[in-house]
Amino acid sequence: MKLSARNQFPATVRVVTEGAVMSEVVVEVDGGHELVAAITAESARRLGLAPGKRVVAIIKSTEVILATDD
Residue 44 has pLDDT above 90, yes or no: yes
Query: Structural domain of residue 31, as residue ranges?
Result: 7-59
Report if residue 42 sits inside a domain: yes
What is the arithmetic mean of pLDDT over 31-49?
Answer: 96
Report if residue 35 sits inside a domain: yes
Report if residue 50 sits inside a domain: yes
Report if residue 40 sits inside a domain: yes
Instruction: Please tell me the predicted confidence (pLDDT) of residue 3.
Output: 86
Calpha distance 53→47 (Å, rounded): 10
**For the chain, where are the E strands, in sequence order?**
7-18, 22-29, 34-40, 54-59
Report if residue 2 sits inside a domain: no
Percent of the chain with pLDDT over 70: 100
Taking a C-beta distance cutoff of 8 angstroms, is the pair 55, 39 a contact?
no
CATH classification at residue 36: 2.40.50.100
Query: Mean pLDDT over all residues of the chain?
Result: 93
The CA–CA distances, whole Å, from 68 to 34, 65 equal 21, 11
What is the arithmetic mean of pLDDT over 46-67?
Answer: 91
How does pLDDT run across 5-36, given as a tens digit for each residue?
888 999 999 999 999 999 999 999 999 999 99
Q: Model's pTM, two decimal places?
A: 0.84
